Amino acid sequence: MHRTSLTRLDARLLAAAVLSGLFVTSVPAAYAAEQDWYSRSTPLTAVEDGEAQALAYGTSYTKDGYLKNHTYYRDPRAGGDAVYTETGYTYFAPDQDGGSSWSEYGDSDQSDRSSSGAWVDQYDKDDYSSSHSDADKGRVHSKVCEDQDWSPDACSRRPFFTFTL
State residue 6's pLDDT score.
Answer: 42
b/e burial code for range 81-100 (CB count within 10 A of at least 16 → b)? bbbbbbbbbbbbbeeeeeee
Describe the chain by its helix, strand, coil percentages, rounded to 5.
20, 45, 35
Residue 132 banded pLDDT, cuts 50, 70, 90: confident
* % the chain with pLDDT above 90: 67
pTM for the model stands at: 0.77
Residue 131 banded pLDDT, cuts 50, 70, 90: confident
pLDDT digits (tens, 9 = 90+) for 91-120: 999 988 889 999 877 789 999 999 999 999
Residue spans of alpha helices (H) in the chain: 2-26, 128-131
In the chain, what are the domains? Answer: 32-164 (2.60.40)
State residue 95's pLDDT score.
Answer: 87
Per-residue pLDDT for 158 more than 50? yes
